[in-house]
């Protein structure tokens, strides 16, 4: 199964592009499911049909879904929701407030990840198209597997043991509800459903991310940052979609400055994101709603390109043998040297760009080797390790 994820700054038309891509895939005979991970869903509006929290048929070979976090909470996380509701009730909130607060921010992303994993494992679909939330939420979505894995490996087991020891004491000292082993067990079972999702989304033969932009400086700047952060977490971007371009047949002089700015920004996009291919979509005379208009948009956008193909082969993270040692190479396009921090702690290489931080678990071949240097040039971070397995486990790259 191929998974295609579309993201971009809010308002650039990523939902329309994702929906059009799904229409094109279905028309080619692929059994296609398009889902939305954005809490402010608009996927159903793009198709002009009602969509629920589970796959519903839109057309031949085409199905759609809009996640309902409240409904999925009831189905998948009942024990935890019950515990949270008890805590909020104990804190003095009324029933409606407690019900609403039990679905905390970010839960949509967690459930979306479990759905992606479920659909990938089912063998029922040929193509999964994901209409992601705006870029900041997409970065959070795709960083969740790393974050949850770190928490479940390091913090969760200790927390469960401490709760077994302290919980009975607290229950005698306070009336506040204390999480029982059933809550911890539900958390563990839920995490097991996520296990392996990173392997799916980071596999370039199975998954691709496509950035949707308009020819505006702010939009392009955010897309560049998004590309950097996605590379940081090991995800492959295989194309950029330049959306809502002014067509050549607009000749009104009022648009001349807009068209000139568009030409200039297209150069910025093509040069800045090279060697990624840039797909183009013109501003349409009518709102692209419904299967026919979405299909026409997709035909113009992809032309002779097959949307399920891998449109660019890149390798954001790799390890090679260099001389007597090894080198870890991480592509961080558009990252600023002043915003980049690199360090090491134990078996992890710590990389931070601005507010985002990733702990890269070093493979066995590097864990006991000392970092001998690091350099960042032309959007590529190179960290050198020596040939001798004598690492102390904690050092700063020189």
pTM above 0.85? Answer: no
Are residue 225 and residue 110 in the same domain, yes or no? Answer: yes
Task: Give, for 325, the enclosing helix (H) or strand (E).
Answer: strand 325-331
For residues 119 and 54, what is the distance between their CA atoms, to the nearest angstrom? 11
Quick: pLDDT tens for 382-397: 999 998 765 555 555 5
Report the CATH number at residue 201. 3.40.50.300
Do 330 and 186 lie in one domain? The reply is no
The total of structural domains in the chain comes to 2
Which of 284, 312, 340 is at the close of a domain? Answer: 312
What CATH code is carried by the domain that includes residue 354?
A: 2.60.40.790
User: Are residue 385 and residue 271 in the same domain, yes or no?
Assistant: no
- My answer on whether 324 and 307 are in the same domain is no
Q: What is the pLDDT of residue 289?
A: 95
pLDDT above 90 for 296: yes
Q: Are residues 119 and 262 in the same domain?
A: yes
Q: Give the end of a domain, one of 256, 280, 312.
A: 312
CA distance linking residue 142 with residue 202, whole number of Å: 9
Per-residue pLDDT at 224: 87
Residues 242 and 140 reside in one and the same domain = yes
Q: Which of 271, 268, 265 is nearest to 245 (CA)?
A: 265
Is the pLDDT at 338 greater than 60? The verdict is yes
Q: What is the mean pLDDT of the chain?
A: 81
Give residue-wise pLDDT tens across range 227-266: 888 887 888 999 999 999 999 888 888 889 989 999 999 9
- 99 has pLDDT over 90: no
Asked if 324 and 383 sit in the same domain, the reply is yes
Tell whether 122 and 34 lie within a shared domain: yes
Q: Do residue 229 and residue 326 come from a single domain?
A: no
**339 and 266 belong to one structural domain:** no
Q: What backbone phi and psi angles, to 5 degrees, belong to 34?
A: -115, 130
In tens, the pLDDT along 53-79 reads 889 999 999 999 997 766 766 666 665
Q: Do residues 190 and 108 share a domain?
A: yes
Token digits for 94? Answer: 């009324």
Whose CA is closest to 247, among 296, 213, 280, 283? 283
Cα separation, 210 vs 204, in Å, equals 12
Lateral strand order in the sheet of 356-361: 356-361, 348-353, 340-345, 394-395
**pLDDT of 210-231, one tens digit each?**
999 999 999 998 998 888 888 8
pLDDT tens digits for range 15-61? 999 999 999 999 999 999 999 987 778 999 999 999 988 899 999 99
CA 115 to chain centre: 13
pLDDT confidence of 82, banded at 50, 70, 90? low
Average pLDDT for 132-146: 77
Selection from 104, 121, 142, 111 nearest residue 5 by Cα: 142
- What is the per-residue pLDDT for 339? 85
Residues 306 and 324 in one domain: no
Is residue 267 exposed (0-12), middle (13-18) or buried (19+ Cβ within 10 Å)? exposed
The first and second tokens of residue 74, run together, are 């009831």
141 vs 35, residue with greater confidence: 35
Which of 279, 312, 345 lies at the terminal end of a domain, its last residue? 312
Range of the domain at 382: 317-395
């Amino acid at each position: 199964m191929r998974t295609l994820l579309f993201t971009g700054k809010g308002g650039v038309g990523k939902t329309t592009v994702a929906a059009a891509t799904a229409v094109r895939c279905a028309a080619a005979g692929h059994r296609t499911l398009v889902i939305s991970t954005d809490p402010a869903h608009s996927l159903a509006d793009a198709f002009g049909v009602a969509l629920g929290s589970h796959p519903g048929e839109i057309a031949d070979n085409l199905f759609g879904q809009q996640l309902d976090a409240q409904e999925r909470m009831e189905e998948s996380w009942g024990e935890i929701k019950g515990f949270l509701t008890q805590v909020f009730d104990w804190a003095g909130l009324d029933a409606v407030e407690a019900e609403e607060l039990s679905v905390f921010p970010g839960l949509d992303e967690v459930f979306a990840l479990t759905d992606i994993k479920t659909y990938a494992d089912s063998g029922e679909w040929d193509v999964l198209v994901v209409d992601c939330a705006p870029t900041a939420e997409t970065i959070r979505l795709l960083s969740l597997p790393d974050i949850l894995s770190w928490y479940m490996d390091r913090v969760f087991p200790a927390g469960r043991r401490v709760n077994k020891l302290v919980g009975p004491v607290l229950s005698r000292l306070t009336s506040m509800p204390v999480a029982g082993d059933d809550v911890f067990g539900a958390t563990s079972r839920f995490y097991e459903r996520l296990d392996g999702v990173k392997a799916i989304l980071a596999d370039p033969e199975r998954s691709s991310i496509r950035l949707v932009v308009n020819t505006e400086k702010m939009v392009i700047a955010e897309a560049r940052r998004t590309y950097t952060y996605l590379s940081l977490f090991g995800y492959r971007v295989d194309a950029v979609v330049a959306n809502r371009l002014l067509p050549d047949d607009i000749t009104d002089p009022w648009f001349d400055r807009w068209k000139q700015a568009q030409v200039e920004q297209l150069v910025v996009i093509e040069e800045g994101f090279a060697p990624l291919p840039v797909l183009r979509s013109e501003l349409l005379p009518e709102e692209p709603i419904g299967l026919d208009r979405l299909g026409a948009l997709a035909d113009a956008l992809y032309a002779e390109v097959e949307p399920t193909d891998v449109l660019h082969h890149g390798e954001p993270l790799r390890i090679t043998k260099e001389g007597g040692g090894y080198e870890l190479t991480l592509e961080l396009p558009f990252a600023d040297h002043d915003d980049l921090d690199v360090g090491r702690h134990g078996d992890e290489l710590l990389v931070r760009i601005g507010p985002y931080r990733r702990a890269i678990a070093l493979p066995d071949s590097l864990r006991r080797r000392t970092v001998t240097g690091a350099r960042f040039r032309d959007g590529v971070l190179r960290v050198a390790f020596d040939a001798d397995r004598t690492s102390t486990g904690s050092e700063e790259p020189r």
